[in-house]
Amino acid sequence: MGSITPCLWFDSQAEEAAQLYTSVVRNSRIVDVSRAGQGPDDPALTVSFDLDGQSFVALNGGPEFSFTEAVSFQIACADQAEVDHYWTALTEGGEESRCGWLKDRFGLSWQIVPTVLPGLIGGEDAAGAQRALEAMLGMRKLDIAALEAAYRGD
């Protein structure tokens, strides 16, 4: 069975994007850079890279297409320190959105989601789940302590 590798279309920043993503996401690396010429300073055509075990290709395809929120990458975060790490690194030069969503400086959308979130907004306490959902809807970067407090009714 073949593998599926997402290909990300950039205007001309494929290598810069791959460098950012591999520096931010643990267990990541650039695998290969195919250049327009033979020199190390020649522009990249494609960049193959891995993010925590998932393979990607970044393509310098020109300005014809750009990213939309219809496709995003979700990062599950074990704690607030992880949420803060990804949020800070990926919003630099980008923009914050609502409910844990952001766009990085290349326009790619990300969801930075604490692993406890599904248990809070889908928890057994329906009133607590509703409070946690309402709290989340008012946030940009998700705050685990505030979500847990909302669930408890504090």
Same domain, 19 and 55: yes
Same domain, 32 and 100: no
Same domain, 32 and 47: yes
Same domain, 111 and 59: no
Domain that includes residue 14, residue range: 1-63
Q: Which of 63, 84, 99 is the last residue of a domain?
A: 63
Same domain, 77 and 150: yes
pLDDT-derived band of residue 27, with 50, 70 and 90 as boundaries? very high
46 close to 34: Cβ distance less than 8 angstroms = yes
Helix (H, G, I), strand (E, B) or coil at 87: helix
Same domain, 46 and 71: no
Closest CA to 19 of 40, 43, 48: 48
Mean pLDDT of 65-70: 96
> Which CATH number covers residue 86?
3.10.180.10
Same domain, 25 and 101: no
Q: Provide the domain count of the chain.
A: 2
22 close to 14: Cβ distance less than 8 angstroms = no
Mean pLDDT of 47-64: 97
Buried b vs exposed e over 64-78: b needs ≥16 C-beta within 10 Å?
Answer: eeebeeeeebebebe
The percent helix, strand, coil of the chain (3-state, each to 5) is: 30, 30, 40
Q: Which of 17, 33, 63 is the last residue of a domain?
A: 63
35 close to 42: Cβ distance less than 8 angstroms = yes
Residue 148 has pLDDT above 90, yes or no: yes
Same domain, 144 and 107: yes
Q: What is the mean pLDDT of the chain?
A: 96
When comparing pLDDT for 21 and 38, which is higher?
Answer: 21
Q: Which of 63, 81, 113 is the last residue of a domain?
A: 63
Q: Which residue is it, tokens 């949420």?
A: 83
Please name every residue paired with 110 in a beta bridge, in sequence order, or none if there are none.
Answer: 73, 102
Same domain, 75 and 56: no
Same domain, 33 and 6: yes
Same domain, 105 and 119: yes
